[in-house]
């Protein structure tokens, strides 16, 4: 994109973090240069000048802003980010050292308000939410290593076994004992939260009736999946407030594979979403609360893994939904392994990397879309692009890293962070479905552009990912 002055002014006045690093803003009246996201009071347009680099701004006699610290950004150092990275690493290393969010505030040395803001910005959760998540992750690792339920609870920092059981089940759908027993049978049952909308999950995952990788029949979802590198079928049957999950494979499935199946099921069911917190947030804004009235308890389902979401994101760019389904089916048929019962497991990056562009262009892929899919797969297979574990990274850093991938733009990255990594406060600006839903919800006489979309979505923060999903779903509501 050519960075015109009008575009840069728009991004500067919108305090757009995604534009950081793309240009420097100079404020002639104060003699400083800033990042586009600077939160300082904005000057008049005639007092703004734009520069490609910091050196250009310095040559014009400007000095760095003390609020947004552009030099720290360009040197890849931000003291707040460094503090947060250190704190997060300390929690992950030993969650038992932190009794609650107040202990995190005390360790950080900064105030509660600022720490909350930093966690919301970088991890899309609160300090308490981050600590709870990491405690459960630590407990899962301990149970997988064969430690007792009591040992796992205390190692993760729980002082009460009842609190441990409650939190563990809320995050995983299993009791600690059930999680520890994964692998002793080819099945497990997830307890679903009160108000869980199983029909919404089935409707969403069953949108493509011809999908070779997943199939919905009645109240059951069947998913082709790789477990331990080998194809299998994961079946989820909904009944009596639970999801009964069964793994079917041509070989004996061990504990490691069952834990993989459990993780995929939790993702596809959207158990990490926070509909209660989102609905309470909207309850304080009556003009927005009607968004959730038809769908209380709706959760945002994720893809089985980030790679599957990345492929879907690329094939779904700038095409209608049925055509995107067809393109995804081509990749599965060419590179996915048969999983039985007419299903295929979604192909690995290594399998897609072995394809040639002509394999896809001969099957209705554009040349550029074929390049994006295969080149990205090759980068992952060669180790030059890492996508696993992105949900544990800081959101702005992950966003910047993904934007450097050829074929991924701001819309693609926001969608991938929502559905591939589960970040809670993303907006896929430019999405046609979102703009149509915003026009309808706010009764506009026009489709909102990118700047207006950001403004309209701001009141839904810090739950804009779930708000986006509600808005998409609202397009099916009667008018």
CA atoms within 13 A on the CB side of 246: 8
Q: What is the pLDDT of residue 335?
A: 97
Taking residues 246-265, report their average pLDDT: 96
Q: What is the pLDDT of residue 115?
A: 96
> The domain 306-474 is classified under which CATH number: 3.20.20.150, 3.90.1640.10, 1.10.340.30, 1.10.10.10?
1.10.340.30
Q: Which two tokens stand for residue 9?
A: 């002014």
- Based on its alpha-carbon atoms, the radius of gyration of the chain, rounded to whole angstroms, reads 23
- Burial label, 10 (beta-carbon count in 10 A; 0-12, 13-18, 19+): middle
Q: Which two tokens stand for residue 6?
A: 């009008």
Q: Which two tokens stand for residue 254?
A: 């061990």
Res. 1: pLDDT tops 60: no
In percent, the amount of the chain with pLDDT more than 90 equals 86
Q: Which two tokens stand for residue 341?
A: 């019962």
Q: How far apart are CA 261 and CA 310, in angstroms?
A: 20
Q: Which two tokens stand for residue 237?
A: 């049957």
Res. 2: pLDDT tops 80: no
**Three-state DSSP class for 63?**
strand
Tell me the fold of 80-272.
Arc Repressor Mutant, subunit A (1.10.10)
pLDDT band per the 50, 70, 90 thresholds, residue 78: confident
Tell me the fold of 5-74.
DNA Methylphosphotriester Repair Domain (3.40.10)
Q: What is the pLDDT of residue 18?
A: 77
Closest C-alpha among 187, 338, 313, 328 to residue 250? 338
Closest C-alpha among 453, 418, 413 to residue 432? 453
pLDDT (tens digit, 9 = 90+) per residue, 326-346?
999 999 999 999 999 999 999
pLDDT (tens digit, 9 = 90+) per residue, 179-188?
999 999 999 9
Taking residues 346-359, report their average pLDDT: 98
5-74 against 80-272: fold identical: no
Res. 174: pLDDT tops 90: yes
Q: Are 261 and 255 in contact (CB under 8 A)?
A: no
Taking residues 277-302, report their average pLDDT: 94
Taking residues 256-279, report their average pLDDT: 95
pLDDT (tens digit, 9 = 90+) per residue, 106-158?
999 999 999 999 999 999 999 999 999 999 999 999 999 999 999 999 999 99
* Residues near 347 by beta carbon (within 8 Å), at least 6 away in sequence: 331, 332, 334, 335, 336, 337
Taking residues 372-378, report their average pLDDT: 97
In percent, the amount of the chain with pLDDT more than 70 equals 99
Integer CA distances (angstroms), 385 to 21, 347, 406, 413, in order = 21, 17, 11, 14
Q: Which two tokens stand for residue 240?
A: 């009596």
Q: What is the pLDDT of residue 71?
A: 85
Q: What is the pLDDT of residue 82?
A: 85
Q: What is the pLDDT of residue 330?
A: 97
Res. 442: pLDDT tops 70: yes
Q: Which two tokens stand for residue 207?
A: 């949108």
Measured distance between the N- and C-terminal CA atoms of the chain, rounded to whole angstroms: 38
Domain boundaries, the chain: 5-74, 80-272, 306-474
Taking residues 75-99, report their average pLDDT: 89
pLDDT band per the 50, 70, 90 thresholds, residue 400: confident
């Amino acid at each position: 994109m050519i960075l015109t002055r009008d575009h840069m002014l728009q991004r500067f006045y919108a305090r757009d973090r995604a534009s950081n690093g793309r240009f420097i803003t100079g404020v002639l009246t104060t003699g400083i240069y800033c990042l586009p996201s600077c939160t300082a009071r904005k000057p008049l347009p005639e007092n703004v000048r734009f520069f490609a680099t910091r050196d250009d701004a310095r040559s014009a006699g400007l000095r760095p802003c003390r609020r947004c610290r552009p030099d720290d950004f360009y040197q890849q150092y931000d003291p707040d980010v460094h503090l947060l990275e250190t704190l997060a690493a300390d929690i992950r290393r030993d969650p038992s050292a932190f009794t609650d969010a107040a202990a995190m505030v005390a360790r950080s040395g900064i105030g509660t308000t600022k720490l909350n803001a930093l966690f919301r910005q970088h991890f899309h959760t609160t300090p308490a939410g981050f600590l709870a998540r990491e405690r459960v992750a630590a407990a899962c690792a301990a149970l997988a290593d064969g430690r007792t339920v009591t040992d796992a609870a205390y190692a993760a920092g729980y002082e009460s076994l009842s609190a441990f059981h409650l939190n563990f089940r809320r995050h995983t759908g299993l009791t600690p004992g059930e999680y520890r027993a994964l692998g002793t049978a080819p099945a497990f049952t997830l307890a679903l939260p009160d108000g869980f909308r199983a029909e919404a999950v089935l409707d969403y995952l069953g949108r493509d009736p011809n999908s070779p990788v997943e199939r919905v029949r009645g109240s059951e979802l069947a998913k082709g999946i790789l477990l331990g590198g080998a194809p299998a079928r994961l079946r989820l049957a909904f009944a009596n407030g639970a999801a009964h999950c069964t793994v079917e494979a041509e070989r004996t499935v061990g504990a490691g594979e069952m834990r993989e199946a459990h993780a995929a099921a939790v993702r596809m069911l959207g158990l990490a979403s926070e509909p209660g917190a989102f609905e309470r947030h909207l309850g304080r804004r009556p003009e927005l609360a009607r968004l959730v009235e038809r769908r209380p308890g709706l959760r945002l389902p994720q893809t089985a893994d980030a790679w599957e979401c990345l492929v879907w994101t690329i094939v779904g760019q700038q095409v209608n939904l049925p055509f995107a389904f067809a393109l995804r089916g081509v990749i599965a048929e060419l590179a996915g392994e048969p999983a039985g019962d007419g299903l295929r497991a979604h192909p690995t990056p290594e399998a897609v990397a072995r394809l040639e562009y002509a394999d896809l262009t001969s099957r209705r892929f554009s040349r550029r879309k074929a390049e994006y899919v295969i080149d990205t797969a090759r980068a992952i297979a060669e180790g030059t692009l890492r996508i696993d574990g992105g949900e544990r990274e800081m959101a702005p850093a992950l966003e910047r890293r993904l934007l450097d991938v050829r074929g991924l733009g701001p819309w693609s990255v926001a969608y991938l962070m929502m559905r591939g990594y589960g970040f809670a406060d993303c907006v896929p600006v430019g999405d046609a479905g979102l703009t149509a839903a915003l026009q309808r919800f706010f009764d506009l006489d026009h489709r909102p552009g990118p700047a207006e979309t950001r403004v309209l979505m701001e009141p839904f923060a810090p739950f804009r990912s779930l708000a986006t999903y509600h808005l998409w779903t609202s397009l099916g509501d009667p008018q």
